[in-house]
Every structure is written in C-alpha cells, then in structure tokens.
Chains A and B, each alone.
Chain A
Amino acid sequence: MGSRMNTILQVCFFAISKILPGEEAIEAIRKSIRDTYGRKGEDIVQKNMQAVDETLAHLFEVKVPTELSSTIAMPPPFSLDAPAFERDVLGVMYAGRGDELPVSAFPIDGTFPTGTAKWEKRNLALEIPAWDEKICIQCGKCAMVCPHAVIRMKVYDSKELVGAPATFKSTESRDKEWKGLKYTLQVAPEDCTGCGICVEICPVKNKSEARLKAINMVPQPPLRMPERENWDFFLKLPEHYRRDIKVNTIRQQQIQEPLFEFSGACAGCGETPYLKLMSQLFGDRSVIANATGCSSIYGGNLPTTPWSKNAEGRGPAWSNSLFEDNAEFGLGFRLSIDKQTEFAQELVKRLSAAIGEELATALVTASQKDEAEIYEQRQRVDLLKEKLQGNNSPDARQLLSVADYLVKKSVWIVGGDGWAYDIGYGGLDHVLASGRNVNVLVLDTEVYSNTGGQASKSTPRGAVAKFAAGGKPGCKKDLGLMAMSYGNVYVASVAMGAKDEHTLKAFLEAEAYNGPSLIIAYSHCIAHGINMTTGMSDQKVAVESGQWLLYRYHPERAEQGENPLILDSRTPTRKVKDFMEMETRFKMLTKSSPEHAQQLWREAQQDAESRFRLYEYLAQRKTEKAPV
C-alpha cells in the first residue's frame, strides 16, 4: 500500500470501536473498496482487499504499562539551544500546546523573527545523501537543486579544520581561484526530506560501480548523530567573502549562504530552489511580497518561517498580504523604500559639512551594482552612523533612522501562477506598467497547487486538473509575451532542471535591470502526478520538446540597437508527446477519454510548434537602434 494508510486505519477503527457489528462493518468496507477502486482494475481492488484481511489478522492490543521503562528520551520539539522566544513561545506552539500561552507572549505588531525553521529538526527522511568527496567534481548542481537547503558547500582555509569531528569530510578545492583552500559538501541529516533530486542531478558516475555517483542515498538512522555534529561544525565554518565569489558561475555561486531553508514544502518541490537561489544572491538586502499559495504557506507557516538571516543579522524581510493584491503590495514596498532613500540622500546632502563632503558624495553617488560595491556602501553607512553619534540635531536623528536605506534594497514580488496569471494579473499588469524597479518571480506550476490542483490560465492544453477534468481545452496563456509588449520590462522564462546556468543568468540580469523584471520559472509539482525525484531532470524533456521555452527579453539590448529577445531554447528535437507521456496530469486523459486525449495532444503539438516559430521569428528580426 506504500504510505497509504486509510484503508488499514479504517479497518482498525471499526474493529476496535465496534460502532457497527464487526462483520457488517468489514463487509461495508469491502463494498466501498469495490465501489471506489473497481474501475481502476481488479488487481488494485485485490490489493486493498488483502490489506483489509492482513489488518484484521495482525491487529493486537498494546498494553500500556503503568510505569515507563524506555531509555529512549523524546527530544524537545525545539532544540534547547534555541533563543528564549523561539524555545518558549514558538517551540510551545510547535508542540501543539499554543493554547497554554498568554496573549502577552505574542509579538504586539504581528512580526515574527526569521530563521526559525532550523529548530524543527523533523527527521523525515529514511535515506539521506552521502557525499563521495573522491569523485565529486564540485560543480554545485546538487546544492542548487536541493529544495530544502540541506546540501551546502563551503570553501575555507585548512586551519579551520582544527577541532573538526572525526567523520567530518573535506577535500581540496578543485577551483583554480580557490587553490589551496579546502572544500566541503555537507548534508543536514535531520532536515533532509529524502527527495533524492541531488542524486538524480549529479553528473558524475563511479567508474567502478556505475550505479553510484558522487552523492548517494543511504539510510539515515546510523548517520544521524555523527552528521548532526558535522552539520553544526559546518555551520560554524566562516562564510567565504561574498566579494570573492564569481556569482555568474554555479560552481562558485553555490557557496553563497542560503537564507531560505528547511521549509515545509513537499519533498522534491520545484518552486523552492528558485527562492533559495534568490536568497543566496540578494537575500541580505531583499524585501519580499509573497502572494497566497504554496509559497506563502511554506514561507510563513507559523510558528516558523524558512526565511532566515546571516551572521550579521541581515536577511529577507517577508510578508504575505492577500492573493489578488500581491503585485501592488510589493510595488508599495518599492515606492516606500525609494521615498525613504530619497529622504536619506536629502539629509546626507544637508549634513554634508558635518559628515564630510567626500563621504556625503560617495554615499549619494554609489553605484552598488555588485557585491563588492554594496559592501563598500555598507561600510560607508556604518561610518556615517558613527559620525552621527552625539549629533542631536533633528536632521541627524532623522538620518540615523533612515540611513540603512542608502544601501540598495532588492524588492521581490513572488507568487505562483494562480496569482500571476489569474486573480492577481490585473495588479501585476499595473506594476509592470509602472516602470518601477521591482523583480517579479512567478513560480509556475501550471496549476493551483496549494488548494489541490485547480486549473489556472497557465495550465497547458490537454492537462487534467480540477475544473478541467476532461483536459484543459484551451492553450496556456503566454504571460511573458504580454509583458514583453511593454518594451521596458525585462522578461525571462527559465527552467532550472533544463539549464541551470541560464536560470542563474536570468536572476542576475533581472536584479541588475533598473526597471520591472519578470521571471517565469517552470516548477515541477506533485500536482503533475510525477515521480518527484526525477522532476528536476525531467524539465530537460519539457524544453527539448518545445513544451517550455527558455528566453530572455532584455530592454537594454534594444537601446544598443540589438534585438532585445534572445531565444535560449534550441529547435525542439522531440515531440511534446514524449513529455506528456511522462506526467499523469496528461497521461491520465488517455485512460479516461482516449479519443479526446488524442485530439488535445495533436493540438498541443501544434501549440508548441507555432509558439516556437513565433519566438524564433521575433528573436531573429532585424531591429534598428532607437533614434538619439
């Protein structure tokens, strides 16, 4: 029965409670099995019938002793190392005893500290990945695709290894620029969900035993204690200077600390790796408006949140307002931040004599286009705050309160396709038209995942979803094409499992672009009816068949006289049928309405072909430089 327990527990309930006479209840269960599963095949019915018989045969009473003799201690719900508020308020809520807390224990303004998911330590996985440092090529792909940030990499000086636990693994860094440094790939054994995507994506095979890779799933229990120590030691290793990391190449970029970890998303989730990437690149200066949906639930499922902070205490500020208003909500962040920055700059200019002309000019003209420049600006702001100490003028006191706005903030408007294509589209359109500098990230699962798989306008033709049980008759809305028509919106369509370097490039370009940016990120999902372990690598087939296109529309190229659209997908080498056969959301229609499925699949192939031709045409057109 796998992990399905309902048939078994139902039998237990009726057998024990005796609400109905024994045989009558079991007969009723058998009848309901036949009614429910009959149309799915006799072998499925038999499997369930067998489960009923086996349950009855193996049901026994467990006598609860009057005294405990077990030597196994139950760990506290939140580690005792957690800070007081986390341990005594959040931990109590987490243990299901929140009703015991007084109202005064709660934050008066509704804000909760970040970095709290790490205290949960759910120990969900039967198997966790084990690293083979001897054959690992240190490409960083496993760290990038991990939905829960439980695989991380660090490079560090060998002297940091003093005091390392006995089983802590480390090897020489293979990167030319980090020659002489040590490299470690570490797994968080108690937070891993066992999805196996890391193993699936690893490109290296063991030359003596091809079924093994540089990372392999092994049973968790024997590794739990030693790896717990290793994980704690790993966390204490210093983070490499952000200014020294080449962020445009995955093998280096992935050592950036993720500030999104251990969410409650499904094992193997397709959305979370994109959020984790964003948190690595810009998390220490980002403000996030999150639409309702999977991302708001796993993003802020109180009492904990996976959004976290670095050693300096910096990390994303995150909020979920409603479903339909998310784009405007995020735009409001940008307007407010810009205004405060403007005010801070005004004050700096007014106080330039007090703080020094050079510092004042530098503060106001800093370009802040990369990690190094942002670091320098932060230094300046720290210096500014020092200089303002003891200055009691109203301007100085005002400036102290808004000085942090002199450091560039990254505004992200995040949500799924249910928000972006449907209920929030009006707001999204308004925000894209505003021309303001915001980054919109659409985690496109092509269905309303959180609420059980209802069709959205992003659902592709032929996919089965709720309210489209006969297969979605119409084609998928082309949100990217509509956004491109503004001409001043950066638009990218990405799929991490198909081309990870391309995804990274799009995130960097979106943030760098001083205007509205839209990233539409293909996210595989449990609502697709797929094997989640291969969900990421299966994205390759989606792109190869033309079912999903990869492209970037960059308005700045138009200013140089170049065609702003770059089609990053190659001409499809397979039919969409190859992709659709891999996913139950398409394939099940061939079992419920075979002829209708054939028709829709034919149309889906036409959709993919004509869409590719259109994008090919748009990307190849000759364009002229805009007149000066």
Chain B
Amino acid sequence: MIDLSTRYLGLKLRTPLVVSASPLSHDLDNIRRLEEAGASAVVLYSLFEEQLRQERFELEHHLTAGTDSFAEAASFLPQPSEFHVGPEGYLKLIHQAKKAVSIPIIASLNGTTVGGWTQYAQLIQQAGADALECNIYFLATDPDVESADIERQYLEIVEAVKSVVSIPVAVKVSPFFSNMANMAKRFDDAGADALVLFNRFYQPDINLEELEIEPNVLLSTAHELRLPLTWVGILYGRVRANLAATTGVQGPEDAIKLLMAGADVTMLCSTLLRNGIHHLRHIEKGFVKWMEDHEYESVEQMKGSMSQLRCPNPGAFERAQYMKAVKSVQHVVLSSREAWSVLNRQ
C-alpha cells in the first residue's frame, strides 16, 4: 500500500495534491466536489483588502451622488440598516467550508496596509481556518523605491501577521528578488511556516482593435513548472519552512518532479480550471501508478531526492547548466540551417 501522505504547515495531509487559491473555491459546492475528487486541502480564493476598501468607497459614492441637489429627491436609493462591506462573506465561507468538508481549509489573504493584514488575519483565525496563506502580491514600479525597502516591507508583513495569529502562516511570493535564497532565509527567520513558490504576476495585454490595455489572466502552462522546480530544488534542506510548489502542474509527472525537488505539497489550479475538478482524480491515479511502476513506497521516500543537496548533478541547478543548455540550442539551430542549405542546393 503506497503511502501518499505528507506533512504541511503542521497538518497531516492524505496526499501532496492541494488546490491553490482560485475562483473554484468561491462556491461551497465546488469545495465539496474538490474534496470528493481527492484534494488533500484547499486554499480558498484570496480576500483582497483593497477590493473591500474600493467597494466601500464606491458604494458610499453612489449612494450619495447627486443627492441634496433637488428638493424632491433628497436621495435616490434607500439606505439599508445593515451593510456587509467587510470580510463577513469570506469569513462565513471559511466557517461553512469547515462544516462541509473534513480536509483542511487554508485561507488566503492579500492585504495592502499592515493594519489590514493583521486585522483580517485575526478574523480569519477566529472563523476557524486551519492555516493562513499570505498572498503578498506587490508590483514595484516606483523608480524611487529601492529593493531593500521592498524586501523589508515583505518581512514586516510576515512578522506582523505572525505576531497576531497562532495558526500556521504560509507566505506566497513571486521569484523576482535579487537573491531568492536570501529572502527565503529571512522569511524563515521572520517565522514563516511555509513558502509557497511562486505567485504569478499577471501582465496585461493590448487589444489592438479597441486600443485598450486589458487585464489578461492566462492559465499557467507546462513550461512554467521550471521556475518553482529550480527554486524548490535549491532551497530544500536549507530552510526550516515547508515548501509548497505551485504553477505549471498539468499532470502527475509534474507533481512527482516537484516533490522530488523537495516540495512538501504541490498546488494545482489552472489544470482544474481547464479540465474540470474531476481531473484531480486522474492526476492522483497517475501519480500512484507511476510510483507503483517505479517501485516507490511513499511520498516521504521520494521527497527531496532530486534536490540540489541530493541529486547526482547539483551544478545543474545553477550556472553550469546554462552553458550546456545554450550549446544544445545552437546544435538544433545549426542542424536546421544545414538542412535548409542542403535543400536549397537541390
């Protein structure tokens, strides 16, 4: 009997296949279906502090716009006695999800102010979440802000949140740091219980017909696996925090690669949005079959076996592999050029 279990954020999970923050978890029924399909834990969609704030101001603006300008219409909309303009909906979902399924529910928070981070983190803990994932999505574009200041901000957030909650805290970040390994160590020191690698920054697209800049959420593709794969491989054994690998997991072999690199869990989203929630069962089945075919006994056995610390060619994780990779591409280019000149001579 193959043992798929793994430990993540102090939680014992049946498998390393976790569903990452996505629109799938907006619906309680979907969360139930994810559990039925085999998800070992679910990370809920992110609660956005700035969205709540924006909605509050927008509501206030539209309730009062144009009023007090005409005697017969002192207002245009009735004022309800109650407004749910805070995170109540999200907290209720946590509460309901905990009642509906037995797998761990990890809340995800995307704050903007330190006050927002800590206040919502506490509320999330009170609502019963098993853990909290801090989705620190910060696109630095101000030319006058230096990287050291940005790095400090990230750490302040982690320290602040850790100081107000007792549930485990995972930190989801992007790879765009000068030294990811240094940041990982500092997150570790700040008390992060897990690092979720990596957040994807969405870049907008240009609509040529309308001449508009449009938000363009592209689902991840297979080659995006390489980045978390590389860094999980490098960081395994060098940080205390758990490692969660996310982005680019399309099928069972992707998950296996990430675990071998050193991940404690792999997180899936795009592949389920593309193929349906049931696809998770297919991935788990494939995962088990691969382990059977290759005679592995447990996830713990394979975990980190191909990390930089333990793999046969550790230099491959760093610059040495770059030269080899470039040489192999040149070979491809030359051989096709040769093929062309052969063809043209004929």
Q: Give residues in A with beta carbon < 8 Å to B.
A: 2, 4, 6, 37, 39-41, 43-44, 205, 210, 266, 297, 449-453, 464-466, 469, 526-527, 529-530, 584-585, 587-588, 591-594
CA distance A469 to B63 in the complex (A): 13
A266 adjacent to B66 (CB under 8 Å)? yes
Query: Which residue of B is nearest A36, CB measured?
Result: B79
Interface size on B, residues (CB 8 A): 31
Query: Which residue of B is nearest A469, CB measured?
Result: B78
A451 adjacent to B72 (CB under 8 Å)? yes
B89 adjacent to A452 (CB under 8 Å)? no
CA distance A526 to B65 in the complex (A): 8
Query: Which residue of A is nearest B68, CB measured?
Result: A6
B74 within 8 A of A: yes
Give the residues in chain A near B61, CB-CB below 8 Å. 2
Give the residues in chain B near A592, CB-CB below 8 Å. 80, 82-84
B238 within 8 A of A: no
Q: Mark interface residues in B46-77 (1 if CB within 8 Å of A CB, else 0).
A: 00000001011111111111101000111111
B85 within 8 A of A: yes
Give the residues in chain B near A450, CB-CB below 8 Å. 72-73
Closest 8 CB pairs of A and B: A452-B73, A529-B62, A592-B80, A584-B62, A41-B56, A527-B76, A469-B78, A453-B76
Give the residues in chain B near A593, CB-CB below 8 Å. 80
CA distance A584 to B66 in the complex (A): 14
Looking at the assembled complex, report how far the CB atom of A583 sits from the nearest CB atom of chain B, in whole angstroms: 9
CA distance A587 to B83 in the complex (A): 12
Looking at the assembled complex, report how far the CB atom of A148 sits from the nearest CB atom of chain B, in whole angstroms: 16
B85 adjacent to A453 (CB under 8 Å)? no
Contact check: which of B57, B80, B89 meets A44 at CB < 8 Å?
B57
Contact check: which of B75, B211, B212 meets A452 at CB < 8 Å?
B75
B86 within 8 A of A: yes
Contact check: which of B58, B78, B211 meets A210 at CB < 8 Å?
B211
Give the residues in chain A near B62, CB-CB below 8 Å. 529-530, 584, 588
With A453-B73, A469-B78 in contact, is A591–B84 under 8 Å at CB?
yes
Contact check: which of B57, B77, B81, B85 meets A585 at CB < 8 Å?
B77
Looking at the assembled complex, report how far the CB atom of B205 sits from the nearest CB atom of chain A, in whole angstroms: 14
CA distance A2 to B58 in the complex (A): 12
Give the residues in chain B near A39, CB-CB below 8 Å. 81-83
Query: Can you list 25 A-B contacts with CB-CB less than 8 angstroms, sorted by A residue number?
Result: A6-B68, A40-B56, A40-B85, A41-B56, A41-B85, A44-B56, A297-B72, A451-B72, A452-B75, A453-B78, A464-B78, A465-B77, A465-B78, A469-B78, A526-B66, A526-B76, A529-B63, A529-B65, A529-B76, A530-B62, A591-B80, A591-B83, A591-B84, A592-B83, A594-B84
* Residue of A205, A585, A588 with most partner-chain B CB within 10 A: A588
CA distance A120 to B80 in the complex (A): 39
Give the residues in chain A near B64, CB-CB below 8 Å. 4
What is the count of residue pairs linking A and B with beta-carbon distances less than 8 angstroms? 90
Looking at the assembled complex, report how far the CB atom of B333 sits from the nearest CB atom of chain A, in whole angstroms: 37
With A4-B64, A584-B62 in contact, is A40–B73 under 8 Å at CB?
no
Give the residues in chain A near B59, CB-CB below 8 Å. 40, 584, 587-588, 591
Give the residues in chain A near B84, CB-CB below 8 Å. 591-592, 594
Q: Give residues in B with beta carbon < 8 Å to A.
A: 53, 55-66, 68, 72-78, 80-86, 89, 211-212
Give the residues in chain A near B74, CB-CB below 8 Å. 452
Give the residues in chain B near A451, CB-CB below 8 Å. 72-73
CA distance A593 to B88 in the complex (A): 12
Looking at the assembled complex, report how far the CB atom of A225 sits from the nearest CB atom of chain B, in whole angstroms: 28
B77 adjacent to A529 (CB under 8 Å)? yes
Contact check: which of A6, A43, A469, A588 meets B57 at CB < 8 Å?
A43
Give the residues in chain B near A527, CB-CB below 8 Å. 73, 76-77
B80 adjacent to A453 (CB under 8 Å)? no
Give the residues in chain B near A453, CB-CB below 8 Å. 73, 75-78
CA distance A193 to B82 in the complex (A): 35
Give the residues in chain A near B58, CB-CB below 8 Å. 584
Contact check: which of B63, B86, B89, B212 meets A594 at CB < 8 Å?
B89
Looking at the assembled complex, report how far the CB atom of B127 sits from the nearest CB atom of chain A, in whole angstroms: 16
Contact check: which of A43, A469, A529, A594 meets B53 at CB < 8 Å?
A43
Contact check: which of A40, A205, A449, A526 meets B60 at CB < 8 Å?
A40
Give the residues in chain B near A529, CB-CB below 8 Å. 62-63, 65, 76-77
CA distance A37 to B83 in the complex (A): 10
Give the residues in chain A near B86, CB-CB below 8 Å. 41
Give the residues in chain B near A464, CB-CB below 8 Å. 77-78
Give the residues in chain B near A530, CB-CB below 8 Å. 62
B68 adjacent to A584 (CB under 8 Å)? no
With A469-B80, A527-B77 in contact, is A452–B72 under 8 Å at CB?
yes
CA distance A205 to B207 in the complex (A): 13
CA distance A19 to B67 in the complex (A): 27
Looking at the assembled complex, report how far the CB atom of A110 sits from the nearest CB atom of chain B, in whole angstroms: 22
Looking at the assembled complex, report how far the CB atom of A32 sits from the nearest CB atom of chain B, in whole angstroms: 14
Query: Which residue of B is nearest A44, CB measured?
Result: B60
A588 adjacent to B77 (CB under 8 Å)? yes
Give the residues in chain B near A266, CB-CB below 8 Å. 66
Give the residues in chain B near A469, CB-CB below 8 Å. 78, 80
Give the residues in chain B near A6, CB-CB below 8 Å. 68
Query: Which residue of A is nearest B66, CB measured?
Result: A526
Looking at the assembled complex, report how far the CB atom of A510 sits from the nearest CB atom of chain B, in whole angstroms: 30
CA distance A39 to B78 in the complex (A): 15
Give the residues in chain A near B81, CB-CB below 8 Å. 39
Query: Which residue of B is nearest A531, CB measured?
Result: B62
Looking at the assembled complex, report how far the CB atom of A80 sits from the nearest CB atom of chain B, in whole angstroms: 29
Query: Which residue of B is nearest A39, CB measured?
Result: B83
Looking at the assembled complex, report how far the CB atom of A216 sits from the nearest CB atom of chain B, in whole angstroms: 14
CA distance A530 to B65 in the complex (A): 9
Query: Which residue of B is nearest A526, CB measured?
Result: B66
Give the residues in chain A near B63, CB-CB below 8 Å. 529, 584, 588
Query: Which residue of A is nearest B65, CB measured?
Result: A526
Query: Which residue of B is nearest A38, CB measured?
Result: B83
CA distance A594 to B26 in the complex (A): 14
CA distance A486 to B195 in the complex (A): 70
Looking at the assembled complex, report how far the CB atom of B73 sits from the nearest CB atom of chain A, in whole angstroms: 4
Looking at the assembled complex, report how far the CB atom of A560 sits from the nearest CB atom of chain B, in whole angstroms: 39
Looking at the assembled complex, report how far the CB atom of A551 sits from the nearest CB atom of chain B, in whole angstroms: 28
CA distance A592 to B57 in the complex (A): 15
CA distance A248 to B134 in the complex (A): 59
CA distance A381 to B84 in the complex (A): 68
Give the residues in chain A near B76, CB-CB below 8 Å. 449, 452-453, 526-527, 529
Give the residues in chain B near A449, CB-CB below 8 Å. 73, 76
CA distance A585 to B62 in the complex (A): 9
Give the residues in chain A near B77, CB-CB below 8 Å. 453, 464-466, 527, 529, 584-585, 588
Query: Which residue of B is nearest A4, CB measured?
Result: B64
Query: Which residue of B is nearest A592, CB measured?
Result: B80
Query: Which residue of A is nearest B74, CB measured?
Result: A452
CA distance A464 to B80 in the complex (A): 10
Give the residues in chain A near B57, CB-CB below 8 Å. 43-44
Give the residues in chain B near A297, CB-CB below 8 Å. 72
Instruction: For the A-B complex with A464-B77, A526-B76, A584-B59 known, give 16 more contacts whose Cβ atoms are closer than 8 Å.
Output: A41-B53, A41-B56, A41-B60, A41-B83, A43-B57, A44-B60, A450-B72, A451-B72, A452-B72, A452-B76, A453-B73, A469-B78, A529-B62, A587-B59, A591-B83, A594-B89
